[in-house]
Amino acid sequence: MDVFTAISQRSSVRAYKATDVEEDKLKKILEAARLSPSASNRQEWKFIVVKDKETKEKLAKAAFGQSFIAEAPIVIVACGTEPKAMMGCGQPAYTVNVSIACAFMILQAYELGLGTCWMGAFKEGETKKILNVPEHVRVVAMTPLGYSNEPPSEKSRKSMNQIVCYEKYE
Ligand SMILES: Cc1cc2nc3c(=O)[nH]c(=O)nc-3n(C[C@H](O)[C@H](O)[C@H](O)COP(=O)(O)O)c2cc1C
């Protein structure tokens, strides 16, 4: 599968089969995160792989009851370990860096036939308590990982001319 096929065909998965994810596939997905680029090559990230049923159920509760998280055999929780570092442009580096790694993982998962759903709606404090995340570390995102149990959803996107302009901001 080429990259554009993965980008154009992937969609968020909110229903999962109980089927386990093969260990070699999980390793490849985590390797995609490990190889991701980051500002100053800081790599200030940590990915928590959760398989325990009870922990996944607690995470679903922390994610405002989005129960499909707990359906998936795996949940990956992506953390930024140095949240104070800023880039020259004034943006915090960790949110950008961790998000790039998550995007790479999601595309790699799709190529391997696995579904994901980027999750930003969760109570960070509760999530940190559940997973024993240190005070200074931030939780940026989480995603269930598993085999989809739903048809792919239709893509709804703005048109190209709504989002692209040339030479100057319009
Ligand atoms: C930063 C971010 C946060 C998101 N948070 C959630 C979430 O908490 N729950 C959810 O079901 N989907 C969440 N999504 C998925 C989006 O709703 C989804 O990507 C968008 O509607 C486009 O659909 P597609 O992923 O199927 O192409 C999130 C996506 C992103 C990028």
Pocket probe mutation, ligand 1, options 11, 117, 139, max atoms within 8 Å of Cβ: 117
Q: Which amino acid is at 99?
A: S
pTM for the predicted model, two decimal places: 0.98
pLDDT digits (tens, 9 = 90+) for 36-48: 999 999 999 999 9
**Residue 95 CB–ligand 1 contact under 6 Å:** no
Amino acid 97: pLDDT: 98
pLDDT digits (tens, 9 = 90+) for 130-148: 999 999 999 999 999 999 9
d(CA 122, CA 1): 32
Residue 13, phi then psi, degrees to nearest 5? -110, 125
Q: What's the 152 CA to ligand 1 centre distance in angstroms?
A: 14
